[in-house]
A and B are shown apart, each in its own frame.
Chain A
């Protein structure tokens, strides 16, 4: 049973517009959420994270929002650039499985020039 769900396998956005990637989770014990970015033939790289005690974290063009009551988080990229085209993985951690992220299936983002 998937504990971290990314229900959109792909997303296509025009350059300069906002990209919104969504993630839902089922495990209420998750206390830390992360987004990773992955280019073809490379390993995932960390992008941004948020603690469960916060509802927003911003880093440049990237903002993550957390809605604990809905068990939902989203990654906003503004403005989107062609170099942002990649697979984005949502991940979450629990205190019991310390340091080890549980990943969603990923969303492939394509930003068109």
Chain B
């Protein structure tokens, strides 16, 4: 079955370190997104991509970057991790004409 997977599921890192969260989907979807979930804020959009080599900033993109070198992967990089980036991160994808987005299981990131 096609799926979307995130790794790692849990990560603890130190302030100032660079961290990369992986997202891989096997649906061959063009559209991929990253959200963060925080108590009291719901899901907020970080970055999104409509296809290979396309990336766009979302609502809370400061301190994050993404790259899209192929259809299947959209890694999220925290250039210099900050405590404010402690959160649960969700990757999602959707194909052309799909009504809904499919989400990964999430990565819980703690910055100490």
Contact = CB atoms under 8 A, between A and B. Distances in A.
Interface of A: 6, 32, 34, 36, 41-46, 49, 89, 98-106
Interface in B39-54: 40-45, 48, 50
Nearest to B39: A105
Contacts of B35: 103
A105 B41 contact: yes
A29 to B, nearest CB: 16
Report, as a range, how many residues of chain B touch the other chain: 20 to 34
A105 B94 CA distance: 21
A69 to B, nearest CB: 24
Contact of A105 (B42, B98, B102): B42
A99 B43 CA distance: 15
Nearest to B58: A100
Given A44-B43, A99-B101, 5 more contacts: A32-B99, A36-B103, A89-B43, A99-B98, A101-B101
Contact of A34 (B40, B48, B99): B99
